[in-house]
A and B are shown apart, each in its own frame.
Chain A
């Protein structure tokens, strides 16, 4: 049953992928959706059995790699962290499957799409249930691969291809870091399974590891590289540029990638390896700062995007920043709690956006929408729920987790804690602002689209509405109902899944911070939402004036162009790499050094020298006789010469003469 949870999506994927032609779109959708539905119910059961009944399950399937020290099994570990992730992943994935059956109904490649979606879910389940780093890496690479396949699902579009390659390459940079981390773990611990590694970690606290001839603290080094992996997957500042571009895929794909599966893997990794991270305060503060910067950066960028999906994409990036800095403050359970809440309302937002895009003839620009409130009442209500949950409206899902994150940030009483609190609060304000802006521009402003499009706009039918409705329930309720279980005070829900050292535990401190700092984020959020609403409703002229002023233009450009990250990366890093690979590695090394010293140069030198030597035979008799004479003289004379001058002259000089004789040329 536990294995069925993992392998049902794979079975569904194989059925839809291999026999899609036989099954047809309807059959493929039926099989994959029912597989996922079953998986979801199984994961609910597993959730009950594992975490509510406090009964961890460990299944060792079969040895995979068994070579002296290195022992890797196909093992599946179900503890609280895993089953929480399983429930979230399978639920959102099930909803996305259901949604795709209608959203993609007119696509000729629907079976392929369903197959990829199921495969994605399978790899994500492998990732979360793995009991060792290697198997986790299988899932890690698998979701990267599936994201590639899904982002360029419409492979005829050049933009989709480029976005998919970008996602793959940027993820691969992070994966490289993760691989290095895993290798260091193996070198030092001689084991890659979680149980051994986490049990041994306290012994390795003051050990050093020689990396690139520098001595680093072992655990810090490992955690740094694991974090590099998480940066790539969770789109933290630095490797975040792939995430907004991944919008080129179909909308359900964005929902799957951004809400529940791919990007949460980084946060999951940090939470899973919390027994390692707890021993490196330096890396934890690095994580905190990186997460806080991401949260703030993405919120500012999301503020002035005009693409509906891009706004939501940047809000994902921003929320991931919150999760990561919660983990950096050693409150892994809070990070995972936000992950759960975020999965639901972000999936709701993305699928709602898909519904809007579906209704207005695939128009994604918010400036060309507007006035859809009356036309899409259901989608409107769902988007409002999603946006309110995202901006942390009191008593919705986002409120419970985001406020706790900011509380523990302030309650840390360290420099990076306060830093992340300030950036997080500003981020909360901006999040509220752009969420409201999104809702206003799409639904409330006066219609800006073409008349034919607006006239044809309508709410989508059953599957889309049902999936939106199903997502809206946890978006509202999950925060309240799961709060006490996941981050409640003294809750033993997590068991051994998450380890927090006594020194860094600060939930009690966070509980007793000054009241004003507790209320501030909510206040800022509401202020952001309200100001955005009022500004757009009453004084849009003022906003236009602000935007058209000289500084306003610069600021607008700066944020709209994503702080020029892409520009800098493209012009200074990618171009430099391309130039280097053309001029240095291709022109100088491959076509230059290797050819000159390798086959080409050698053969040409030998041919030239051979022709030089054969030119000695001029055809004139007296030249031949001269050569014979000199040859004889040399052969006979050399020994006599040696006897006379051997002790005075170094024999190496004759080697020089001999070599030089090859360079004699006829003028």
Chain B
């Protein structure tokens, strides 16, 4: 059995999370990519919970993962619903065009 160093896995997770975060920030075109980035960040967090749950030999992490999965599903459902409604109203889902609320 290959024993993986936890640091290795944590590096992967943080890379995943950063990809998600940077996807949020650097994405200037498509709002779907924003939603996907959020999903990616949630996945990275889930993975993190799983890893630590195994590492610390504790069940609480799994429970949280299940919760987060549900919440992620609900969130993407609601997000997509908002998106469709918005598309219906504005006829576009380009991020550049969504700038009506200024400071």
Q: Which residues of A contact B (CB under 8 A)?
A: 614-622, 625-626, 629
B99 at the binding interface (Cβ < 8 Å) = yes
Partner of B25, one of A615, A616, A619, A625: A625
Q: Which residues of B contact A629 (CB under 8 A)?
A: 21, 24-25
Q: Given contacts A621-B34, A622-B95, is CB(A616)–CB(B103) below 8 Å? A: yes
Compute how far the CA of A629 lies from the CA of B41 in the bound complex, rounded to whole angstroms: 13
Q: Which residues of B contact A621 (CB under 8 A)?
A: 31, 34, 95, 98
List of 7 A-B pairs having minimum Cβ-Cβ separation, nearest first = A617-B103, A619-B99, A614-B103, A619-B102, A625-B24, A626-B25, A625-B25
Q: Which residues of B contact A619 (CB under 8 A)?
A: 98-103
B57 at the binding interface (Cβ < 8 Å) = no
Mark contacts of B41-61 with chain A using CB atoms, 8 A cut-off: 1 yes-contact digit, 0 otherwise.
000000000000000000000
Q: Which residues of B contact A (CB under 8 A)?
A: 21, 24-28, 31, 34, 95-96, 98-103
The answer to whether A615 and B96 have CB atoms under 8 Å apart is: no
Q: What are 12 A-B residue pairs whose CB atoms fall within 8 Å in the complex?
A: A615-B103, A618-B102, A618-B103, A619-B100, A621-B31, A621-B95, A622-B24, A622-B25, A622-B26, A625-B24, A625-B25, A626-B25
Chain B, residue nearest A613 (CB):
B103
Q: Which residues of B contact A625 (CB under 8 A)?
A: 24-25
Compute how far the CA of A617 lies from the CA of B102 in the bound complex, rounded to whole angstroms: 6
Compute how far the CA of A622 lies from the CA of B24 in the bound complex, rounded to whole angstroms: 7
Chain A, residue nearest B23 (CB):
A625
Q: Which residues of A contact B96 (CB under 8 A)?
A: 620
Compute how far the CA of A615 lies from the CA of B102 in the bound complex, rounded to whole angstroms: 8
Q: Which residues of B contact A620 (CB under 8 A)?
A: 95-96, 98-99
Compute how far the CA of A614 lies from the CA of B103 in the bound complex, rounded to whole angstroms: 5
Q: Which residues of A contact B24 (CB under 8 A)?
A: 622, 625, 629
| Smallest beta-carbon distance B34→chain A, Å | 7
The answer to whether A622 and B27 have CB atoms under 8 Å apart is: yes
| Smallest beta-carbon distance A304→chain B, Å | 80
Compute how far the CA of A622 lies from the CA of B26 in the bound complex, rounded to whole angstroms: 7
Compute how far the CA of A305 lies from the CA of B73 in the bound complex, rounded to whole angstroms: 110
Q: Which residues of B contact A614 (CB under 8 A)?
A: 103
Q: Which residues of A contact B103 (CB under 8 A)?
A: 614-619
Q: Which residues of A contact B102 (CB under 8 A)?
A: 617-619
Compute how far the CA of A486 lies from the CA of B87 in the bound complex, rounded to whole angstroms: 116
| Smallest beta-carbon distance B27→chain A, Å | 6
Chain A, residue nearest B21 (CB):
A629
Compute how far the CA of A621 lies from the CA of B83 in the bound complex, rounded to whole angstroms: 14
Q: Given contacts A617-B102, A617-B103, is CB(A622)–CB(B21) below 8 Å? A: no
Compute how far the CA of A616 lies from the CA of B31 in the bound complex, rounded to whole angstroms: 21
New A-B contacts (12) at CB < 8 Å, excluding given A620-B99, A621-B95, A622-B25: A614-B103, A615-B103, A616-B103, A617-B101, A617-B102, A617-B103, A618-B102, A619-B98, A620-B98, A625-B24, A629-B21, A629-B25
Q: Which residues of B contact A616 (CB under 8 A)?
A: 103
| Smallest beta-carbon distance B54→chain A, Å | 25
Chain A, residue nearest B100 (CB):
A619
| Smallest beta-carbon distance B37→chain A, Å | 9
Partner of B28, one of A615, A617, A622: A622
Q: Which residues of A contact B27 (CB under 8 A)?
A: 622
Q: Which residues of A contact B26 (CB under 8 A)?
A: 622
Q: Which residues of A contact B95 (CB under 8 A)?
A: 620-622
Compute how far the CA of A326 lies from the CA of B98 in the bound complex, rounded to whole angstroms: 98
Compute how far the CA of A576 lies from the CA of B31 in the bound complex, rounded to whole angstroms: 72
| Smallest beta-carbon distance B15→chain A, Å | 16
Chain B, residue nearest A617 (CB):
B103
| Smallest beta-carbon distance A665→chain B, Å | 16
Compute how far the CA of A629 lies from the CA of B17 in the bound complex, rounded to whole angstroms: 12
Compute how far the CA of A404 lies from the CA of B84 in the bound complex, rounded to whole angstroms: 119
Q: Which residues of A contact B98 (CB under 8 A)?
A: 619-621
Q: Which residues of A contact B101 (CB under 8 A)?
A: 617, 619
Most-contacted residue by chain A among B31, B96, B98, B102 (CB, 10 A)? B102
Chain A, residue nearest B96 (CB):
A620
Compute how far the CA of A622 lies from the CA of B59 in the bound complex, rounded to whole angstroms: 37
| Smallest beta-carbon distance B53→chain A, Å | 23
Compute how far the CA of A100 lies from the CA of B34 in the bound complex, rounded to whole angstroms: 102
Compute how far the CA of A615 lies from the CA of B103 in the bound complex, rounded to whole angstroms: 6
Compute how far the CA of A614 lies from the CA of B102 in the bound complex, rounded to whole angstroms: 9
| Smallest beta-carbon distance B77→chain A, Å | 20
Compute how far the CA of A621 lies from the CA of B34 in the bound complex, rounded to whole angstroms: 10
| Smallest beta-carbon distance B71→chain A, Å | 19
| Smallest beta-carbon distance A613→chain B, Å | 8
Compute how far the CA of A617 lies from the CA of B24 in the bound complex, rounded to whole angstroms: 17
Chain B, residue nearest A618 (CB):
B102
Compute how far the CA of A616 lies from the CA of B103 in the bound complex, rounded to whole angstroms: 7
Compute how far the CA of A191 lies from the CA of B72 in the bound complex, rounded to whole angstroms: 91
Q: Which residues of A contact B34 (CB under 8 A)?
A: 621
Compute how far the CA of A617 lies from the CA of B26 in the bound complex, rounded to whole angstroms: 17
Chain B, residue nearest A630 (CB):
B25
Most-contacted residue by chain B among A614, A620, A621, A629 (CB, 10 A)? A621
Compute how far the CA of A614 lies from the CA of B27 in the bound complex, rounded to whole angstroms: 23
Compute how far the CA of A646 lies from the CA of B49 in the bound complex, rounded to whole angstroms: 32
Most-contacted residue by chain A among B21, B27, B95 (CB, 10 A)? B21
Chain A, residue nearest B102 (CB):
A619
Compute how far the CA of A457 lies from the CA of B30 in the bound complex, rounded to whole angstroms: 111
| Smallest beta-carbon distance B1→chain A, Å | 35
Q: Which residues of B contact A622 (CB under 8 A)?
A: 24-28, 95
| Smallest beta-carbon distance B21→chain A, Å | 6
| Smallest beta-carbon distance B32→chain A, Å | 13
| Smallest beta-carbon distance A630→chain B, Å | 9
Q: Which residues of A contact B100 (CB under 8 A)?
A: 619
Most-contacted residue by chain B among A614, A616, A620, A622 (CB, 10 A)? A622
Compute how far the CA of A626 lies from the CA of B96 in the bound complex, rounded to whole angstroms: 15
Compute how far the CA of A625 lies from the CA of B24 in the bound complex, rounded to whole angstroms: 7
| Smallest beta-carbon distance B19→chain A, Å | 13
